[in-house]
């Protein structure tokens, strides 16, 4: 079984995001970019499936600017076998919408015929939480989202999902799309020798046109603004003072 | 213009707070029809019909729609979508699972976690863990939205809409429900509670969470947690507040032993009042807290519980 892992290049989760003063978006020039944290977890899980003998090959795919090559090299250094880069934009500030990404991924799936697509649950830049579900829809496949545990046996995947009330277990017929949540595993760091080896692994370049997909956005961003800010309040000197403050504000 | 609002149903019951808040959010868009799906959901459908602002309840009472299974429920919604300008749902885990699938089947973009509706095609949503707010205008023929309910008032009772049975779509049989592992604490529900008391890594152990729970019980509050506390096994996953957990906006949010990482703030910084107890005066949580106390929580919290 082949596993396809879509990985997105996003602003590093430690970077403090700066909204541009003119409202045109978030400043992404010269900031540290990394693999979306959920996607690292998906890559890790795919590699573990290969190590367990369940998967035969792990293919990482990224859609975006040319620089997403680096993100794919990270996936290769972690242990993915091959990578596909779909260059869909020249401007780091142009985000490709989940619907277009899902359409391109559906094209990649047609070519590659994986038994499983392991996506992240959510990209931490646009916070959409949509691509995996959209891909499953376009393919007519089953989906198991927000997974914290995955077991693959024959033609079925049994998945534990993180839901509002706690946990839910479902099984999906494969091929299927699984989107991973944060508690599925701890992704490994790539070792130096593996980083060197990754430079020689195959990385194929494509364009959206190769899959017949139009990436024109359906949503026009009118403006991007800073959220309402909060001011630091008062610090109590003792529990008694805190109790007075809480009571004084009519909170209890 | 009319809105099809997919109701959240959990264990046969209407998730009333979420549905009532999503209802107020979408009401300005036009007539609202609420879809209740799932065998045995008759009572949920009847309850939805009492919400003010609902003009009709559609009820699809098939077993396939129980447990929020995405493939059959998305097929059902798509089958009903023609004639609606908007398909919406509160941004619960179930809706986040189902509505992007619906949108893709309709060949439109989904607009998730909407915090404000400015017009029929213009919406606000947070991005980058709430560090920026984006206003987007959709050019799609149908708008598919999930509503972040924390900022909306719940629609009151007092309505009496008709309930109409609708035929179900075929279950594609791609996935199967096995079990729900849901704990019932008897406390208020996290996303709708007026007071939330949350613990972080500073709580130090599963047993330590008793301190958090005691204060919560004193205040009649729901209990929350940071991701670090959940990852460490101190608290169950459904208590997680933040970018990838639940979003809450209670009257009072009490953060105990939580540093205040942006991913945590994303889930609680719209609370009306924030109280923080942390032993580190430099902890970023104090930058958003209205009232703070720099102290060891193991002594301060029991004393606070006692004195409140
Ligand atoms: C993609 C992604 C998504 C994430 N999503 C979320 C999310 O949804 N929710 C979330 O919470 N986090 C999330 N995180 C994690 C987040 O970045 C932080 O790691 C996490 O919030 C830290 O939790 P904490 O504040 O409990 O722990 P810490 O940062 O370790 O803070 C513990 C605090 O406790 C204090 N403390 C310790 N002992 C005591 C004592 N005896 N008395 C008083 N104070 C004490 C310390 O001073 C410290 O400030 C996410 C991270 C990533 C990368
Ligand atoms: N441009 C992209 N390239 C590759 N994978 C992506 C891209 N956008 C989204 N994904 C995948 O879809 C998941 C969810 O993203 P989103 O729906 O944008 O929140 C991510 O965690 C990735 O696995």
Return d(Cα B124, Cα A28) in angstroms, integer. 21
Evaluate whether B111 touches A221 at the Cβ level (below 8 Å).
no
pLDDT for res B172: 86
- What is the average pLDDT score of chain A? 96
Question: Could you tell me the pLDDT band of residue B169, with boundaries at 50, 70 and 90?
Answer: confident
Contacts (Cβ under 8 Å, ≥6 apart) of A71: A7, A8, A9, A33, A34, A35, A62
Domain tally for chain A? Answer: 1
% helix, strand, coil for chain A, step of 5: 30, 30, 40
Q: Which of A23, A105, A25, A91 is nearest to A62 (CA)?
A: A105
The answer to whether B251 contacts chain A (CB < 8 Å) is yes
Q: What is the pLDDT of residues A61-110, one digit of tens each?
A: 999 999 999 999 999 999 999 999 999 999 999 999 999 999 999 999 99
Q: Can you give the three-state secondary structure of B173-226, one letter per residue? A: CCEEEEEEEECCCCCCCCCCCCEEEEECHHHCCCCCHHHHHHHHHHHCCEEEEC
Average pLDDT score over chain B = 96
Each residue of B225-258: pLDDT tens digit? 999 999 999 999 999 999 999 999 999 999 999 9
Question: So what's the pLDDT on residue B192?
Answer: 92
The helix or strand, by DSSP H or E, that contains position B292, with its residue range, turns out to be strand B291-294
Give the per-residue pLDDT at B242: 96
Return the number of CB contacts < 8 Å for A and B: 261
Distance (Å, whole) CA B259 – CA B106: 43
CB B250 within 8 A of CB B196: yes
CB A50 within 8 A of CB A57: yes
- Nearest one of A24, A97, A128, A124 to B128, comparing CA atoms: A124
- Identical fold at B2-165 and B195-307? yes
| Domain range enclosing A25 | 2-248
Give the Cα-Cα-Cα angle B63, B68, B70 (nearest 5 degrees): 100
Q: pLDDT digit string (tens) for A127-174?
A: 999 999 999 999 999 999 999 999 999 999 999 999 999 999 999 999
Which of A124, A233, A250, A252 to mutate against chain B (most B CBs within 10 Å)?
A233
ipTM of the complex: 0.97
**B93 touching A, CB under 8 A?**
yes
- Return the closest-CA partner of residue A59 out of A139, A3, A116, A108: A3
Distance in angstroms (rounded) separating the CA atoms of residues B102 and A133: 9
pLDDT of residue B189: 92
State which ligand 2 atom lies nearest to the alpha carbon of A132.
Answer: 12
pLDDT at site B101? 98
Q: At CA A105, angle to CA A41 and CA A78, rounded to 5?
A: 30
Q: Which CATH number do you get for residue A74?
A: 3.40.50.620
Pairing of strands B116-119, B122-127: antiparallel
Distance CA B219, CA A154 (A): 50
**Which residues of chain B from 140 to 179 reach within 8 Å of chain A, CB to CB?**
140, 172-179
Pairwise CB contact (< 8 Å): A138 & B290? no
Q: Could you give the CA distance from residue A36 to residue B66 in angstroms, rounded to a whole number?
A: 32
Delimit the domains of chain B by residue range: 2-165, 195-307
Cα of A11 to nearest chain B Cα, Å: 9
CATH of domain B2-165: 3.40.50.620
- The shares of helix, strand and coil residues in chain B, as percent rounded to the nearest 5, are 30, 30, 35
pLDDT band at residue B109 under the 50/70/90 scheme = very high
CA atoms within 13 A on the CB side of A119: 28
pLDDT value of residue A228: 87
CB A229 within 8 A of CB B265: no
Given a contact cutoff of 8 angstroms between Cβ atoms, the answer to whether A134 and B96 are in contact is: no
Q: Which two tokens stand for residue A72?
A: 């794919």
User: Contact at 8 Å (CB) between B288 and B275?
Assistant: no
User: What's the CA gap between B39 and B16, in Å, rounded?
Assistant: 18
- A226, B133: Cβ pair inside 8 Å? yes
**Options 3.40.50.150, 3.40.50.620, 1.20.1250.20, 3.40.50.1220; which CATH number does B195-307 get?**
3.40.50.1220
The two structure tokens encoding residue A129: 């939480």
Say how many C-beta atoms besides its own lie within 10 A of residue A205's C-beta. Answer: 12
Distance CA B76, CA A198 (A): 45
């Amino acid at each position: 079984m082949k596993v396809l892992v879509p990985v997105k290049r996003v602003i590093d989760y430690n970077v403090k995001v700066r909204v541009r003063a003119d409202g045109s978006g978030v400043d992404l020039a010269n900031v540290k970019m990394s693999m979306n944290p959920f996607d690292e977890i998906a890559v890790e899980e795919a590699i573990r499936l290969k190590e367990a003998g369940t998967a035969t090959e792990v293919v990482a795919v990224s859609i975006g600017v040319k620089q997403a090559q680096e993100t794919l090299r990270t996936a290769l250094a972690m242990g993915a076998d091959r990578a596909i880069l779909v260059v869909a934009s020249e401007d780091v500030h142009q985000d490709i919408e989940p619907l277009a990404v899902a359409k391109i991924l559906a094209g990649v799936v047609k070519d590659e015929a994986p038994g499983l697509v392991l996506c992240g649950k959510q990209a931490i830049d646009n916070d959409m939480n949509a691509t995996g579900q959209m891909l499953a829809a376009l393919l007519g496949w089953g989906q198991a989202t927000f997974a914290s545990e995955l077991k693959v046996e024959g033609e079925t995947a049994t998945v534990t999902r993180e839901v509002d009330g706690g946990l839910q277990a479902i099984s999906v017929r494969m091929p299927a799309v699984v989107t991973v949540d944060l508690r599925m595993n701890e992704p490994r760091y790539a070792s130096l020798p593996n980083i060197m080896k990754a430079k020689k692994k195959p990385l194929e370049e494509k364009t959206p046109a190769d899959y017949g997909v139009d990436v024109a956005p359906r949503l026009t961003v009118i403006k991007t603004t800073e959220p309402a800010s909060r001011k630091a309040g008062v610090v109590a000197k003792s529990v008694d003072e805190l109790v007075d403050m809480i009571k004084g504000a009519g909170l209890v | 213009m009319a809105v099809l609002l997919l109701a959240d149903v959990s264990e046969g019951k209407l998730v009333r707070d979420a549905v009532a808040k999503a209802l107020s959010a979408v009401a300005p868009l036009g007539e609202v029809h609420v879809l209740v799906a799932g065998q045995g959901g008759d009572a949920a459908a009847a309850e939805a019909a009492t919400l003010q602002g609902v003009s009709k309840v559609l009820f699809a009472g098939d077993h396939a729609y129980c447990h929020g299974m995405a493939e059959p429920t998305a097929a059902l919604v798509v089958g009903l979508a023609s004639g609606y300008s908007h398909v919406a749902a509160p941004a619960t885990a179930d809706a986040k699972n189902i509505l992007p699938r619906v949108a893709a089947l309709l060949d439109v973009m989904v607009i998730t976690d909407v915090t404000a509706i400015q017009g029929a095609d213009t919406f606000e949503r947070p991005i980058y863990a709430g560090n920026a707010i984006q206003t987007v205008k959709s050019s799609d023929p149908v708008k598919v939205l999930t509503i972040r309910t924390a900022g909306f008032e719940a629609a009151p009772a007092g309505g009496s809409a008709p309930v109409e049975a609708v035929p179900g779509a075929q279950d594609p049989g791609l996935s199967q429900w096995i079990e729900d592992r849901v704990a019932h604490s008897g406390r208020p529900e996290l996303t709708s509670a007026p007071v939330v008391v949350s613990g972080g890594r500073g709580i130090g152990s599963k047993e330590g969470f008793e301190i958090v729970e005691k204060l919560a019980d004193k205040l009649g509050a729901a209990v929350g947690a940071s991701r670090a506390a959940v990852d460490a096994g101190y608290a169950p996953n459904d208590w997680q507040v933040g970018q990838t957990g639940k979003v809450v906006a209670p009257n009072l949010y009490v953060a105990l032993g939580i540093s205040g990482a942006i991913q945590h703030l994303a889930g609680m910084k719209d609370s009306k009042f924030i109280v923080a107890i942390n032993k580190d005066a430099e902890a970023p949580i104090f930058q958003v807290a209205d009232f703070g106390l720099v102290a060891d929580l193991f002594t301060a919290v029991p004393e606070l519980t006692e004195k409140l």
